């Protein structure tokens, strides 16, 4: 079987984990069907017996039999649903875990090229459609097939002529379901398209509400909306034209087989080819057997939707992670934190223009490199390559003399403490956030130390639950500066060999910044530090300063040598002094 064309086939390995349960569930289906088929038979006997003379105690026996059989059937049906639907939830659980684990491995460029909402809807909505196949889809199919097979065999055995005649309208039901189904599907898609047109327009209208209001275009917006809305209603009504016929027609067709039974079966009773009891039993069976005919359409729909959804899930799961360790990768014997960038030119995947061009810098272990430049000059792009958030070309970024691509990914990242530009904290306690990078528990004293370095300790003391305080939606709202400081503690807490600060003090006031830098200097002493900053005050004391402009190194040196050069750096410095003056005014 070609797996590309049958996305659902990929579910088989998942299902095979639960094969025992499925086999048992199938057994329950068979037992439920058999028990269910006994009911009408008993009623038939009752009718036949009533025509003859029957003892009152026999009646009680039959009544008890009906109730008893229903109890047995109910017992089986309960287990059928519990097992088979349960399996679908088990597989959903496994599949969602695997999906999550796969997403975790994907590189940033993959995640950034897709909207979060899109990935999430695969993990929830699509997965739920697939779950519907695994649960109700499979169960109903089993039940419908088993019921049709056993039920029809029994009816044919009872009276084949009557069976064949009553089945004619039922066959028509199946045909109707199929032919209407296609058309309903098509018209429904038309409705969906119009629906998304309405959504797009609404979104546009709301996003551009200022323009709408500025130009006083409210009325014409309403007119556009009216047209879209009218078309939507028109398409809906065209579907209604179908469904309004469809459902009553189904009822009528099913009713037709009742008429055949009444008319033809009645004649057979009159001609004594059939007992009245058999006639009544037949009536009961017919009621049961119409269900699979109607269900066919629904089951088909479940499988169709599930298949489309599984395709979408697989599209994500079949994309291999672009950034991973090469087989047999080993870290250098002695990790000291030296960094070297050699003739680096870098383009983001899928783009033409290089964001970094021919960059070479060497940072000996334990020294500090500062990177400055205007927005968009490539500062973040450069530091993102060191922990391989994006992959640099081979041989351009080396840590301790070894290409980052030859490092085991986890070892490389473990030796880097990174404070990203946009602070991201998890909605968890402050303690959990600071200790995030640690695999083992963190001692209280160490936590205190990490918090102290970033000068967040004093703030934490003011929170009622201290380190246990929740941040984010369910807890307290931290200021931008507080968040940045926790992110700094988080990076320091893993005792990295290389520390990267990607403009991580931008939301901290100058006074606090100085204190943080003071504390950090102690930590930075035996570590390599990369400082990206807008503020000259932050980087003045770095061993090396690199000025980036349009992705190239424009200037390189120390604060003093760059000031003497009187170029971009000196200009930036002067402007900052002016800005500070402005801020004081």
Binder of other proteins out of 12, 149, 175, 222 (CB under 8 A): 222
Tell me 136's DSSP state: I
Strands 368-373 and 528-532 turn out to be parallel
Q: Using the rule CB under 8 A, is 273 a contact of other proteins?
A: no
Q: Using the rule CB under 8 A, is 17 a contact of other proteins?
A: no
Question: Please, are residues 386 and 404 in contact by the beta-carbon 8 Å criterion?
Answer: yes
Q: Using the rule CB under 8 A, is 285 a contact of other proteins?
A: no
Alpha-carbon Rg for the chain in angstroms: 36
The Cβ-side half-sphere exposure at 535, using a 13 Å CA radius, reads: 16
Binder of other proteins out of 46, 313, 370, 467 (CB under 8 A): 46
Q: Using the rule CB under 8 A, is 317 a contact of other proteins?
A: no
Residue ranges in 119-148 that form contacts with other proteins under rule CB under 8 A: 119-120, 123-124
DSSP letters of 77-127? HHHHHHHHHHHHHHHHHHHHHHHHHHHHHS-HHHHHHS-HHHHHHIIIIIH
Binder of other proteins out of 182, 208, 465, 566 (CB under 8 A): 208
**Rounded alpha-carbon distances, angstroms, from residue 315 to 99, 123, 558:** 11, 12, 50
Which CB, 287 or 480, lies closer to other proteins? 287
Which CB, 66 or 156, lies closer to other proteins? 66
Tell me 477's DSSP state: P
Write down the least CB distance from residue 452 to other proteins, Å.
20
Using alpha carbons, select from 138, 153, 127, 188 the residue that is nearest to residue 295.
Answer: 138
Tell me 273's DSSP state: S
Binder of other proteins out of 17, 19, 182, 230 (CB under 8 A): 230
Residue ranges in 60-119 that form contacts with other proteins under rule CB under 8 A: 60, 62-64, 66-67, 69-71, 73-75, 77-82, 85-86, 89-90, 92-93, 96-97, 100-101, 103-106, 108, 111, 115-117, 119
Phi, psi (degrees; rounded to nearest 5) at 297:
-60, -45
Cα 542 to the chain's mean position, in Å? 44
Q: Using the rule CB under 8 A, is 183 a contact of other proteins?
A: no
Question: Please, are residues 169 and 264 in contact by the beta-carbon 8 Å criterion?
Answer: no
Which CB, 232 or 449, lies closer to other proteins? 232
Q: Using the rule CB under 8 A, is 349 a contact of other proteins?
A: no
Quickly count: other Cβ atoms within 10 Å of residue 460's Cβ: 23
Q: Using the rule CB under 8 A, is 319 a contact of other proteins?
A: no
Per CB under 8 A, which region of 222-230, 358-366, 443-451, 554-562 contacts other proteins?
A: 222-230
Tokens of 9: 């086939």
Q: Using the rule CB under 8 A, is 172 a contact of other proteins?
A: no
Which CB, 274 or 520, lies closer to other proteins? 274
Write down the least CB distance from residue 114 to other proteins, Å.
9
Q: Using the rule CB under 8 A, is 510 a contact of other proteins?
A: no
Which CB, 211 or 458, lies closer to other proteins? 211
Residue ranges in 424-483 that form contacts with other proteins under rule CB under 8 A: 424, 426-427, 436-437, 439, 473
Residues 6 or more apart whose Cβ sits within 8 Å of residue 150: 30, 33, 34, 37
Q: Using the rule CB under 8 A, is 54 a contact of other proteins?
A: yes
Binder of other proteins out of 12, 168, 171, 211 (CB under 8 A): 211
């Amino acid at each position: 079987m070609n797996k590309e064309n049958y996305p659902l086939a990929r579910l088989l390995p998942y299902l095979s984990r639960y094969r025992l349960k499925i086999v048992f569930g199938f057994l329950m289906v068979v037992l439920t069907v058999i028990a269910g088929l006994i009911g009408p038979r008993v009623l038939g006997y009752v009718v036949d017996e009533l025509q003859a003379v029957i003892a009152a105690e026999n009646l009680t026996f039959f009544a008890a039999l009906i109730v008893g059989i229903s109890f047995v059937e109910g017992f089986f049906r309960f287990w059928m649903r519990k097992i088979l639907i349960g399996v679908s939830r088990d597989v959903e659980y496994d599949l969602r875990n695997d999906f999550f684990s796969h997403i975790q491995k994907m590189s940033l460029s993959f995640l950034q090229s897709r909207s979060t909402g899109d990935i999430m809807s695969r993990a929830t909505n699509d997965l739920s459609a697939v779950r519907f196949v695994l649960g109700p889809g499979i169960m109903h199919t089993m039940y419908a097939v088993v019921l049709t097979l056993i039920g029809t065999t029994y009816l044919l055995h009872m009276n084949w002529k009557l069976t064949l005649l009553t089945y004619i309208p039922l066959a028509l039901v199946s045909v109707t379901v199929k032919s209407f189904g296609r058309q309903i599907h098509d018209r429904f898609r038309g409705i969906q398209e119009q629906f998304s047109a309405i959504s797009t327009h609404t979104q546009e209208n709301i996003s551009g509400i200022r323009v709408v209001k500025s130009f006083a275009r409210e009325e014409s917006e309403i007119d556009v909306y009216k047209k879209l809305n009218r078309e939507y209603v028109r398409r809906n009504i065209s579907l209604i034209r179908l469904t309004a016929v469809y459902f009553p027609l189904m009822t009528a067709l099913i009713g037709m087989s009742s008429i055949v039974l009444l008319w033809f079966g009645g004649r057979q009773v009159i001609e004594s080819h059939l007992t009245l009891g058999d006639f009544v039993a037949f009536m009961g069976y017919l009621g049961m057997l119409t269900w699979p005919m109607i269900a066919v359409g629904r089951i088909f729909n479940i499988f169709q939707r599930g298949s489309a959804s599984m395709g979408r899930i697989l599209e994500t799961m079949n994309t291999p992670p672009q950034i991973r360790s090469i087989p047999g990768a080993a870290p250098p014997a002695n990790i000291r934190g030296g960094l070297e960038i050699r003739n680096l030119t870098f383009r983001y995947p899928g783009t033409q223009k290089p964001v970094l061009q021919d960059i070479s810098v060497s940072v000996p272990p334990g020294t500090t490199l500062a990177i400055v430049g205007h927005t968009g000059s490539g500062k973040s792009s450069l530091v993102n390559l060191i922990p391989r958030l994006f992959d640099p070309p081979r041989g351009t970024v080396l840590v301790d003399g070894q290409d980052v691509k030859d490092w085991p990914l986890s070892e490389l990242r473990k030796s880097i403490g990174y404070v990203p530009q946009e602070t991201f904290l998890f909605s968890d306690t402050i303690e959990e956030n600071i200790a995030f990078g640690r695999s083992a528990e963190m001692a209280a004293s160490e936590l205190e130390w990490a918090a102290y370095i970033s000068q967040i300790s004093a703030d934490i003391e003011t929170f009622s639950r201290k380190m246990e305080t929740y941040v984010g939606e369910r807890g307290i709202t931290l200021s931008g500066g507080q968040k940045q400081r926790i992110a700094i503690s988080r990076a320091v807490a893993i005792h990295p060999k290389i520390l990267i600060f990607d403009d991580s003090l931008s939301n901290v006031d100058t006074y606090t910044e100085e204190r943080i830098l003071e504390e950090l200097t102690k930590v930075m002493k035996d570590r390599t530090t990369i400082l990206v900053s807008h503020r000259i005050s932050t980087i003045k004391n770095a061993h090396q300063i690199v000025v980036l402009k349009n992705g190239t190194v424009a200037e390189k040196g120390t604060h003093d040598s760059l000031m003497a050069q009187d170029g971009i750096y000196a200009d930036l410095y002067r402007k900052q002094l002016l800005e500070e003056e402005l801020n004081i005014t």
